[in-house]
């Protein structure tokens, strides 16, 4: 087939035209490095290799861009790249490579994310376990990461902080008490944990 035209597109892509018909969009840098120009012959294997290299480069670039802004778990990063920039295979390969280079570390991510959820957002450990699982952190790793946080100690301290900052009138106002209990349960605390801190409050 003949490369009849190559036109720039948004997001650093180049639209190829093959035998006068629109073909695949290729990463512009990959296209420039190929040194192809209109009028050149392009075989199926050469085109396939070009598409694969474009996909791999876009996956790497997107993965690095995402990591520059914040840390990610490996599964989270793979899914984001596959959803927005590249094929699933290329996204997985990019994540594997970044993990090999030490730029992607699920254990370090889990420790940092759990600390943020517990100390800044005041989540209970049940909710933290759910959030770590959602990010693709294995259960055994999550339990190791959460081991330093005493279930009852962190729960009591965080419940008291949430009550004092958001529901200061819970002792005087029944509606505020009920909202506080519901909110704390959404944060991942059991009714028993909440009731113990609130002095045996019964909202039934």
Closest C-alpha among 135, 140, 141, 95 to residue 117: 135
Global pTM?
A: 0.78
For 48, the token pair is 């396939």
Q: Are 133 and 76 contacting, i.e. CB atoms less than 8 angstroms apart? A: no
Q: Are 194 and 159 contacting, i.e. CB atoms less than 8 angstroms apart? A: yes
CA angle, residues 87, 104, 136, in degrees to nearest 5:
70
Summarize the confidence of residues 170-190 as an average pLDDT. Answer: 92
Q: Please report the pLDDT score of residue 107 as a whole number.
A: 96
Report DSSP state, residue 36: -
Q: For residues 63 and 67, what is the distance between their CA atoms, to the nearest angstrom?
A: 6
Secondary structure of residue 104 in the 3-state scheme: coil
Q: What is the per-residue pLDDT across 76-123, written as a single tens digit (0 to 9) for each? A: 999 999 998 889 999 999 999 999 999 999 999 999 999 999 989 999
Q: Express as a percent the part of the chain with pLDDT over 70.
A: 96
With tokens 């081991």, the residue in question is 147
Closest C-alpha among 76, 73, 151, 146 to residue 115: 146
Question: Which residues does 97 contact at the CB level (< 8 Å), separation at least 6?
Answer: 60
Q: How confident is the model at residue 153 (pLDDT cuts 50, 70, 90)?
A: low
Closest C-alpha among 28, 35, 1 to residue 14: 28
Closest C-alpha among 34, 81, 192, 91 to residue 24: 34
Q: What is the per-residue pLDDT across 5-36, written as a single tens digit (0 to 9) for each? A: 999 998 899 999 999 899 999 999 999 999 99
Q: What is the per-residue pLDDT across 132-152, written as a single tens digit (0 to 9) for each? A: 999 999 999 999 999 988 766
Q: What are phi and psi of 169, to 5 degrees?
A: -95, 20
For the chain, give the mean pLDDT. 91
Q: Please report the pLDDT score of residue 202 as a whole number.
A: 47
Closest C-alpha among 153, 105, 106 to residue 125: 153
For 41, the token pair is 């012959």
């Amino acid at each position: 087939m003949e490369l009849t035209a190559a036109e720039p597109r948004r997001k650093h892509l180049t639209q190829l035209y093959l035998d006068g018909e629109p073909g695949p969009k290729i990463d512009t840098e990959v296209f420039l490095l190929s040194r192809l120009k209109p009028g050149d012959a392009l075989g199926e294997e050469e085109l396939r290799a070009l598409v694969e290299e474009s996909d791999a480069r876009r996956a790497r670039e997107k993965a690095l861009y995402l990591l520059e802004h914040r840390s990610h778990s490996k599964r989270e990063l793979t899914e984001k790249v596959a959803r927005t920039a590249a094929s699933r295979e290329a996204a997985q390969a990019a994540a594997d490579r970044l993990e090999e280079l030490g730029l992607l570390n699920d254990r370090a991510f889990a420790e940092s994310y759990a600390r943020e959820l517990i100390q800044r957002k005041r989540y209970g450990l049940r909710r933290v376990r759910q959030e770590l699982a959602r990010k693709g952190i294995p259960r055994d790793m999550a339990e190791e990461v959460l081991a330093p946080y005493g279930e009852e100690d962190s729960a009591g301290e965080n419940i008291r902080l949430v009550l004092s900052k958001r529901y200061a009138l819970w002792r005087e106002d029944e509606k505020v008490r009920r909202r506080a209990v519901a909110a704390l349960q959404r944060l991942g605390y059991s009714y028993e944990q909440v009731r113990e801190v609130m002095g045996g409050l019964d909202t039934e």
